[in-house]
Every structure is written in C-alpha cells, then in structure tokens.
Copies of this chain bind each other. A is one copy, B any other.
Amino acid sequence: MVLVDTLPPCMSGPLRFDIIDRCGETQARVGRVETAHGGFDTPAFMPVGTRGTVKGLTPEQIRSTGSEIILNNAYHLLLRPGDGLVARRGGVHRFMRWDGPILTDSGGYQAYSMSDINAVDDEGVTFKSIVDGSMVHLGPERSMEVQNNLGADIIMAFDDCPPSVDPATLNESRKRLAGKRGGPHAKGYDHAKRLVEAHDRTKKWLHRCVEAHRRPDEQALFGIVQGGTDLELRRASVEAVCGVDLPGYAIGGVAVGEGPELIREVVEHTAPLLPVEKPRYLMGVGYERDIVAAVKAGVDMFDCVLPTRNGRNAQAFTREGRLHLRNAKFSEDDAVIELGCDCAACGGGFSRSYLRHLFQVGEMLGPTLLSVHNIRHFQRLMLDIRRAISENDWSLLLGAWPVLRAQYAPATGEGVDAAGEK
C-alpha cells in the first residue's frame, strides 16, 4: 500500500468517493464509490444491461461475476417499456431486481448512432423510433426527465457526440459507422467546425441538464467531456464541463472508430485534467490494454459491451487472448474455457466442446455461460489492476495477463477483431 497525497473522502451530492491507494509512478488510484444502493470498488468495470437486463443473465448471475455496478441505456428504456412505466414500477432497480448501483447513459449516443437522425440542433436530436417509426425528441431536459424516471444512482449529462475523427480519413467500414453519427453526409461537412459545435452544445446542454435535474440529492449527475481527437478542444471541454461542480466527470466520444493509439492519446491527455478528487469515467472502452492504459492515466470507471456482445457471438476472452468457440478445433476439447478461472462456466466444468455444441445448435445457454465468463474475465482484470496499484507493481499484472503484452491483432487475423472497436 502506497499512500501518496491522501485526499479526504469526496462527498458530492449523493455520492461519496474515497481514494484508498495511489500508484506513485502513474496517475492510477484505487478507490471506493458509495451510492444509496451500495458501493463499488474502483477502477470498476460495469457490464452493460441495455434494456434493463444484462442479456441472458439473472441478477444473481451478474453478481456471481463480481460486478458491483451495471449500466442501463436510457435510449432503449425510454422507447420500451417507457421511462414513465419504469417510474411507476418504483424505478429501474426494482424493475429489473438489481439492488446494487446502476448508471444510465443519457440516450444521446444511441440516438445518434442507432437512428436515422431527422434533425440535430441546439434543442437536441429528433429521431425515428426503431420500435414504431414515430418521431422522438431527446434533448437535455427530456434526457434528465427520462433518467430521473429510471432512477439510476449515477446519471449522465446529455451531450453532443460528434464523430471523433474526420469521416473522410476513415476506411469504408469505419466510415459507415461514423457516418451515422453527427451528420457527415451533409454537404460541406467540416469536421473541425463540427467538433467545436459539439463542444459548445455539450457545454450549454450541461447547464440545462443541471437546471432540469429534479433529483440531485438522490442521483449523481456526471458531466461529459467531448472534443474528439483535438487535444486543445479536449482541454477546453474539460475547463467548461468541470467548471460546473458535479459528483463526477466522464470522457465521451472515445472509441468510436479512431483506433487504439488515438484512444490512448486522448485519454492520457484528458484524464489527468479532470478533478483528482472525483470519479472519472471513460465511456464505452474497451479491450484489456485500453483499460490498463486508461487506469494509468487516472480513470476509475469503465463500461463496455465487449464481454456480453462477443460472448453471445461465441467469443471467449482469456488472459492469452480470445477464443472463437465455433472453431472446429474445439469440438473435442475437454478443457474449460480458461484453466484457473473461477467463473460459473469454468468453475461449473463446462467444456469448450460442450460450449461449441451449444453455439452450433443455437442454444441460449451458450451466450449465457460465455457472458458470465467474459464479464468475470474483466472483473478479474480489474481485481489485478487494483492490486497492481495498491502494490505499486505492474509487473505481476503483465505476467498474469499475456494479452496485455501482445501486439494488437489486425482485423483479418484469425478472426481476432481489431482492438479498440466497440
């Protein structure tokens, strides 16, 4: 344990944040966040429970992975079953029977990325519902209303999330992804101008969010820093966003197609600029190395769909790298996914052969077991990261996690995805 510049607990709104250990040679810190629904150790990994369920897992199974806080998507829940309905059920904790901490995103990112955008302007975004085709408006006030209704412990400001790199510089598949987000289809699209516009809007909308937030004593509102890959704009965004006193701050607009090196550059630049005494949250990131790099830059909270989404697609995370369990070479493999893993799938003795069979015949137990394993994989990484910080020794982590030392595999190599993609 290395105690450096120990800070008093930070009480801000309904949140308490204690920094317990710090690592001398990096910005990394071990902490504990307390909410009305209990606490979670940081650096923390939050599994994604899009529609009020971490796909295929009971709350008990989520708990078995060591997860202490989960994320829900406001966008999906506002469309179905509706935030008003969830409020009448007593909020999303009671609705989904998860009594631990919950964080909701603001819905903006999904509105941009999942919908045919009808209009983005200073009032927010108007999009076509993927459910019934009706037009839905989401702006700072409505996003706060939705999140107040859902009742999560941590809620996110409604931000304008532009493509992080100029779509003109992207390859085709990333162009398609980025093209959905921020209107680069429009004639005369000017990326630098779009970043500044997003930064301005994010700043203005944050004030409107604070104003509209009806439950500041129960729900901690986090601000979101934007700025794309423009480091100066990131600094300006930090100044503007952190100028508002909030219980925590997030780095948004990262890992949206720009690749691991740029993710790292932006995070290493931005995280240390955020208030040291408040929790810092890097949204939507990522692979193991992205997380370790961000922790070293001082990030405390992470969420990512990788363990669950890849798990549903038969991809298992291990310390040595990812296994594609549909591969024929596993058909008679009696080993568990990963020797020494204490997840319910490995601990339960389910073989790669059996898991492959489940995926080959389309049985839901396959996605369930692999999601449990993959989330546990990330939670064990966080455990080892916290130990590395407390012991001020990263060598053990690198020794135990070969995946952290390997080169990023190219997108076409043996079915291994390019790192950094969401």
Contacts and interface: CB of A to CB of B under 8 A. Distances in A.
Contacts of A361: 51, 76, 80
B365 A81 contact: no
A58 B365 contact: yes
A350 interface: yes
Interface string A34-62: 00000000000000000111011111100
Contacts of A331: 81, 85
A360 B59 contact: no
Contact of A97 (B348, B360, B368): B348
A80 B368 contact: no
A357 B97 contact: no
Given A81-B331, A349-B97, A56 B365 contact: yes
A301 interface: no
A364 interface: yes
Interface in A333-351: 334, 344, 348-351
Contact of A96 (B57, B334, B354, B364): B354
Contacts of A354: 52, 89, 95-97
Given A58-B348, A331-B81, A368 B357 contact: no
A368 B52 contact: no
Contacts of A81: 331, 353, 356-357, 360
B357 A80 contact: yes
A352 B110 CA distance: 28
Given A344-B58, A348-B59, A353 B53 contact: no
Nearest to A57: B365
A247 interface: no
A303 to B, nearest CB: 19
A250 interface: no
A311 to B, nearest CB: 12
A363 to B, nearest CB: 5
Contact of A58 (B59, B88, B369): B369
Contacts of A360: 80-81
Interface residues of A, number: 39
A252 interface: no
B368 A364 contact: yes
Interface string A52-90: 110111111000000000000000100011000100110
Nearest to A96: B354
A108 interface: no
A368 B58 contact: yes
A167 interface: no
A232 interface: no
A334 B58 contact: no
A398 interface: no
Contact of A85 (B52, B56, B353): B353
Contacts of A418: none
A228 interface: no
Interface string A360-382: 11011101110000000000000
B348 A55 contact: no
A356 B56 CA distance: 15
A70 to B, nearest CB: 13
A129 to B, nearest CB: 13
A358 interface: yes
A265 interface: no
28 contacts: A52-B357, A53-B363, A53-B365, A55-B363, A55-B365, A56-B56, A56-B364, A56-B368, A57-B365, A58-B348, A58-B368, A58-B369, A60-B344, A60-B348, A76-B361, A80-B360, A80-B361, A81-B357, A81-B360, A89-B332, A89-B351, A89-B353, A95-B353, A95-B357, A97-B350, A364-B364, A364-B367, A368-B368
Given A89-B353, A95-B357, A364-B368, 10 more contacts: A53-B358, A53-B365, A80-B360, A80-B361, A81-B356, A96-B354, A97-B348, A97-B350, A97-B354, A364-B364
